[in-house]
Homo-oligomer: A and B are copies of this chain.
Amino acid sequence: MPRKKGVAPGGEAGRTQHYRSDEIKKIVLSKLKKAGEEIVKAFNSGEWPTLYLPVRSTKNIVYDPSLRQYVLGPKRAERTVGNIRHLRPFAQLVWVSKFAKQLLTTGKTSTLRDTYYVAIGEGIDFESQDESDEVIMEVESLINQPREDMNIFPEERASIYGDLVIEYTIPGFRGQRIDLSAHPDGYAIGPALTTAEFARCGAEQVFVIEKGAVFSRFVEERADKKFKALLIHTAGQSPRNCRKLIRRLREELNLPVYIFTDADPYGVHIASVLIHGSALSAHIKEINVPDAVWSGVYATDITKYKLPAMRLTEQDFKRLKELEQDPRYTVDPWRREVQYFGKIKRKAELEAFSRYGLEFIVKDFLPERLAELQKR
């Protein structure tokens, strides 16, 4: 396990640095430009401009074992100005591309919702935000970059705490650094943190935690120090930019990632999406973390630790049935745990360890689980 990586070398206050986010911006702008040029070229040579978009229906989604995530299959759909019914979505797509360019060149950010309202203001005829969200996803699939790379960020916020110094790359804060171990309630993972560089890291692993209360518990029991761990609170399902940040911690700093969720089908899904990717984001590559390890709470932990548990609901059983059909659940611990849920028909929360006192989860459960996982 490497540590104390100096990722951003030299340069006073980093103002003249070349950041990874600058590279991404260049790539996105050049991809957008290329798409635009092809449209102009077609017009100039008297042809109908035509775009080829990957089909994002569930029928074209496959699990790619080499990338270890859900991806789109080879099906493409044609969108051409030559078809009068394509004109409207074609124009919408061109507008979103223009808006993305504008965000990147002015250094501003937006959200899905904001983008919809700006479109309305500019007289672009979206019937609802659903429609503009859809077109934003089309642009993502066209240029194969997530919307965050076009400065369109999620509303939801995950947060982070631990021994990591970041360097901002956004306007107004460019080159400034901040130590993420200074505020124990956590730092929101918004546009500034998402695009920051990792300047110095003293942590050796990452603990990803579904629940705010358990994040606080980990901070309070000094899990960050005892285990040299960065703590990330996803607040339920991880927002996409948080998944990407965790992937960067894995790839750039080589940190192992452990995921802690409730012992219920929803918690299993949170871990699974982070590791395998989601069907909904199958058109975006590399925002999942294939090497991350689902570390519990397992269904078998309910029995092993005699955790206070509740009955599974109808919806839980339905979800379990779906998981049983899923190729990713044919290996342990997934298979074993899904089967065990079916057997005991019960679920438990991360907080349930508090039945042994507030210290138990960090003092006893964590070292036991990490030791087990390292034996695998």
Neighbouring B residues of A191 by C-beta, 8 Å: 185, 216, 220
Q: Does A41 contact B (CB under 8 A)?
A: no
**Residue A173 lies at the interface, judged by CB distance under 8 Å to chain B:** yes
Chain A, 333-356, CB within 8 A of any chain B CB: 349, 351-356
Smallest distance from the beta carbon of A32 to chain B beta carbons, Å?
19
Q: What is the CB-to-nearest-CB distance from A150 to chain B, in angstroms, rounded to a whole number?
A: 14
Option from B121, B170, B353 in Cβ contact (under 8 Å) with A184 = B170
Residues B356 and A121 in contact, CB atoms below 8 Å apart: yes
User: Within the oligomer, what is the number of copies of this chain?
Assistant: 2
A245 to chain B, nearest CB (A): 12
* CB-CB under 8 A for A213 and B111, given A173-B184, A184-B170, A188-B187: yes
Q: Determine if B173 and A212 form an interchain contact, defined as CB atoms under 8 angstroms apart.
A: no
A189 partner residues in chain B, CB cutoff 8 A = 185
Q: Which of A171-193 contact B (CB under 8 A)?
A: 172-173, 176, 178, 182-193
Q: Is A144's beta carbon under 8 Å from chain B?
A: no
One digit per residue, 1 when the CB lies within 8 angstroms of any chain B CB and 0 when it does not, for chain A 150-164 equals 000101110100000
Query: Which segment, of A112-120, A249-257, A263-271, A289-297, faces chain B?
Result: A112-120
Q: Enumerate chain B residues within 8 angstroms of A281, measured Cβ to Cβ.
A: none
The answer to whether B222 and A354 have CB atoms under 8 Å apart is no
Q: Is the CB of A308 within 8 A of B108?
A: no
Q: Is the CB of A159 within 8 A of B188?
A: yes
Minimal Cβ-Cβ distance residue in B for A189: B185
Q: Are B188 and A178 in contact (CB under 8 A)?
A: no
Interface assignment of A110: CB less than 8 Å from any CB of chain B: yes
Q: How far is the CA of A109 from the CA of B108 in the complex (A)?
A: 39
A211 contacts the other chain (Cβ, under 8 Å)? yes
A193 is contacted by which of B110, B176, B183, B355 (Cβ under 8 Å)?
B183
| A352 to B, closest residue via Cβ | B117
A212 B351 Cβ-Cβ under 8 A: no
Q: Give A310 to B349 CA distance when docked, in angstroms.
A: 38
Contact A308 B184 (CB under 8 A): no
Q: Is there a chain B Cβ closer than 8 Å to A68's Cβ?
A: no
Residues of B within 8 A of A188 (CB): 159, 183, 185-188
Q: A157-B159, A183-B193, A186-B188 are in contact. List 16 more A-B contacts (CB 8 A).
A: A113-B213, A114-B354, A114-B358, A117-B308, A117-B351, A117-B352, A118-B357, A121-B354, A157-B186, A173-B184, A183-B188, A185-B190, A185-B191, A185-B193, A186-B190, A191-B216
17 intermolecular pairs with C-beta atoms under 8 Å apart: A110-B354, A114-B217, A117-B351, A118-B355, A120-B355, A157-B186, A157-B235, A168-B184, A172-B222, A183-B183, A183-B187, A184-B192, A185-B189, A185-B191, A186-B188, A187-B188, A190-B212
